[in-house]
Chains A and B, each alone.
Chain A
Amino acid sequence: MSNDWRSVNSAARIDLSRMCSIKIDPIRKLALVGPGVRLSSLVSESQKIGMMPEIESAACIDFTFSDWADETLRMMSTINSGIDGILRNVKVVAPSMTYQTGYDSFPANGGGYDLTKMYMSSGMSLGVPYEFAVPLRPISEMMVKRIYAFAKPADAAVAGVKIHRSGFPRVVKMRSAGFEQMLASGNISPSSSEVQLIVKLEGNQAIIDAAEKALDEIAGKNGGKLSEVQPDAPRFINPASIGSSVWVVGFFICDTKGLPAVISDITDKATDAKRAFQYCVGDLTPNTSLMIPIMQGPPSIPLLRSVGSYLVGNRIPLRGSPSWNPLLGDSRAVSRVEVLRQIKRVLDPKMILNPHTMEVF
């Protein structure tokens, strides 16, 4: 199964992009959406009745829900957990049966096994999704973004964690300044060392005022300053719209301790290769971060290999894992894959759905 993201060889491809119905139940505060629905579509539909998805809509609004069910995009964060933690239920067709991973309306606690996260992390190898249940919430009275500029990634990472822990923001993201320009123009300007923290605040006027005062102080103490630039709504990279000038290496999940070193080392590599490097760090919470190394094209295969092997080789000291080979070196994953294979055999005994996903060992 795939939309525009994955290539397949010698296999039938199921295009889910036309399964794009949206049913909103304002009483249950719930949206039931097809796998082809883009988050941006759900946002605009729910806004018509004064609601919005519990998912953080500042990220990946161009992605469909089936993209999220693919093997990496589910990592895009929301407030307390990844997308898979927010979803209530996924209705799935597997070769041997149809099933539901949880409940439409309720958290799946105390009512039999909760299959949602397992399904969402299976790379759609446990069945084809045909409906997702997404909780909705009222639109806040005020929503504002505040941008802080930093000269060094390390300072931004430290400030970002403190800002997140202040209890005010809904989301804190970190990006290179050139990332926003790239999204606007489709091209990358030369590498900029400036780093931005993008903080999303919600509440009423008094809460926003208090938050801005507190966060300005935290940023100031850590070498940041309030940016005058208010970018458009942040959008995630969509290769189809950006074109061939940008190469997405992949995600590298690490914590904030390892993050500055990753950024610094890859920037050096890109500079040596006379390429620009920009990045986006999603949801700068204390325990994890998300990074997307990007290089301006035309593609430099040696550089891509160099960055890739650097991240793989340093995953332990950097406290992270690369999305394109997440199981590499994690001996703990062996038992996990075995359990998943047992479940896969029940649902897909002939191993016809995305069989490559579990062929890692």
Chain B
Amino acid sequence: MDAVKPNRYSEEYLERLVASHDLAPMPKAAALAFKMMPDMVIHPKEAEEVAEIVRTATSWGLPVTPRGGASWGFGGAVPNKGGIMLDMTSMDRIIGLDTERGIVRVQPGVVWLRLDEWLRRRGYFVPYYPSSAPGATIGGWISTGGVGVGSYKYGAARDNVRSLQVVLPSGRILETAHMFDSRHPSDFDLTSLFVGSEGTLGIVTSIDMQVYPVPESFVPASYSFQNMDAVSNALNKISEAKLKPYHVAFVDDNTFRFLRAMGKHAPEVGGMVNIIFEGPKARVDEEIKFFDTLMASIGGKRESDEIANHEWSERSYELRTKKLGTGAVIGEALVPVAQTAIVARETVALVKKMKMNLAFNGYLIDRGTVAFLPFYLTDERRWIKAISSLSFVKKFLDISNKHGGRGVGLGLFMSSNIHTMRDRNTVKLLRYIKESIDPESRINGGKTVAMETRYGIKIPPALFRLGMNALALFKRFYPRDKYDRPVPGGFPGGEHR
């Protein structure tokens, strides 16, 4: 491949192996359906280089998979048919900050935490980011649509990304918004089409995003509750409040049990709500007073500043408890705030039936929506158990859907879910859009709007759902192992007090 310098191109087994999985521990048996190992890994530096690679790949008939920090677990950053893996972490330049507009331009491989540190040295910060900020890249997160820390006040990635530079499957370079008026564009704006497209419509090579002045005051506060019902009630009350804090997160009691089982100190409470305040000090002080009163009125106990600061500092390490097992698989759903309690209860009941060990956490993403993240312990080395455990995610999303929610993230493994998320015509339109922009399905093809195996066979959603239901049934009769047994101080199946 002439366009690529030798030191940025590799066919080494180890490098390809690393690129063959993401956060989710996939059993080896998945390789029967998907060729997750790329044929080569390329570390590009510039958009023109990416464009040349895409053109060459197209002429060779090779699929191209872009990859950032790979900190999601749905296979979006993993090949399904081998081919070229574009490791975008090599495009890691912070190009510049326009203080007049409050916009920073970065390459997609910049890691969130590094950007935040860079901005803070210049009096700015980025208030919206994934909880995986220490490892997640900007390009990766915005490709998921990006809701996370700070979305409650500052919105999702789509609200803050002003423009993208994208290499299209044709090899042409596209700018998604106008060169000047990218906040209120006076002409066609394709930014949000590419934000959240999970890298299936093109390769993002540069991002313009809104940043904000560092706030005068920043205070985390933690409130403990008796059980998850009380936590759910607190989330409801916060979403109805006339004041709006920066970020609102919650954790259940089993999360703390897992931590204690690891030998960590963790409070013995039925659940915790963490509210983060930021802004001018006078405003922050008033907001704290307001929410202290509100939480106390519904049985919340304000914990010490030490606990609150610790909880805030742990926001990026919710999967620390993976150490209890050799892996944990997460599912993620958006649920109406009003339905949080019932979704939590039914999820716990499901866990009991499936003989699993689970904890969950989440956060408010707007006044109507909770992002709900359960995770369970598993062992991917025991592939029958691991595969059957995967069905939990499907069953959990069924519960969410039943109560007006939906899953988050399609990638490869969850792409069948698109039929439960969008109506039939819209799914058809989304596929047309993919086909019209990428007729040969070279860029991350067979994902998001379809699920395609290494042999080019599209798996019908009904078949996928049938298979998952069968696995869930199987899991109910599969004997417990050490990962399914309650942790000390816990209950079978993660029962909540």
Do A and B actually bind?
yes
Contacts from A to B (Cβ < 8 Å): 27-30, 72, 74-77, 80-82, 84-85, 97-100, 103, 105-118, 120-122, 135-141, 165-168, 203-204, 206-207, 210-211, 214, 251, 253-257, 285-288, 290, 315, 319-323, 326-327, 330, 332-333, 335-337, 339-340, 342-343, 345-347
Query: Which one, B180, B243, B287, B332, contacts A321 given CB within 8 A?
Result: B180
Q: Which of B7-15, B21-29, B150-158, B388-396 contacts A (4 or more CB under 8 A)?
A: B150-158
- Is residue B2 contacting chain A, with contact meaning CB distance below 8 A? no
- B191 A112 Cβ-Cβ under 8 A: no
Name the 3 nearest CB pairs between A and B, nearest first.
A109-B145, A210-B282, A287-B101
CA separation between A74 and B172, bound complex, in Å?
Answer: 29
Query: Which one, B100, B158, B177, B241, contacts A255 given CB within 8 A?
Result: B100
- A327 B187 Cβ-Cβ under 8 A: yes
Query: Which one, A109, A211, A285, A323, contacts B158 given CB within 8 A?
Result: A109
Asked if A81 meets B280 with Cβ closer than 8 Å, knowing A117-B189, A254-B181, A287-B210, the reply is no
A28-B404, A109-B196, A116-B192 known, 4 other contacts, Cβ within 8 Å: A82-B184, A137-B367, A285-B102, A330-B179
B274 to chain A, nearest CB (A): 21
Q: Mark B151-171, 1 if CB is under 8 A from A, else 0.
A: 100111111101000001000
- Is residue B240 contacting chain A, with contact meaning CB distance below 8 A? yes
B74 to chain A, nearest CB (A): 9
Residues of A within 8 A of B156 (CB): 107, 109
B201 to chain A, nearest CB (A): 7
- Is residue B267 contacting chain A, with contact meaning CB distance below 8 A? no
Interface centre among B210, B212, B242 (most CB of A within 10 A): B242
Query: Which one, A167, A206, A330, A345, contacts B178 given CB within 8 A?
Result: A330
- Is residue B215 contacting chain A, with contact meaning CB distance below 8 A? yes
- B172 A335 Cβ-Cβ under 8 A: yes
A24 to chain B, nearest CB (A): 13
Contacts from B to A (Cβ < 8 Å): 98-103, 144-147, 151, 154-160, 162, 168, 172-193, 195-198, 201, 210, 212-213, 215-216, 239-244, 279-280, 282-283, 286-287, 290, 332, 334, 336, 338, 365-369, 404, 406-410, 418, 421-423, 425-430, 432-433, 436-437, 448-449
Residues of A within 8 A of B146 (CB): 109
- A167 B195 Cβ-Cβ under 8 A: no
A356 to chain B, nearest CB (A): 14
Query: Which one, A75, A116, A118, contacts B188 given CB within 8 A?
Result: A118
Which residue of the partner chain A has the closest CB to B208? A287
CA separation between A115 and B428, bound complex, in Å?
Answer: 13
Residues of B within 8 A of A105 (CB): 336, 368-369, 404
Query: Which one, B183, B368, B448, contacts A29 given CB within 8 A?
Result: B368
CA separation between A211 and B184, bound complex, in Å?
Answer: 27
Asked if A107 meets B158 with Cβ closer than 8 Å, knowing A255-B100, A345-B436, the reply is yes
- A336 B175 Cβ-Cβ under 8 A: yes
- A97 B429 Cβ-Cβ under 8 A: yes
- A112 B421 Cβ-Cβ under 8 A: yes
Interface centre among A115, A138, A167 (most CB of B within 10 A): A167
A51 to chain B, nearest CB (A): 10
- A113 B183 Cβ-Cβ under 8 A: no
Residues of A within 8 A of B182 (CB): 287-288
Query: Which one, A106, A287, A339, contacts B168 given CB within 8 A?
Result: A339
- A340 B188 Cβ-Cβ under 8 A: yes
Which residue of the partner chain B has the closest CB to A204? B286
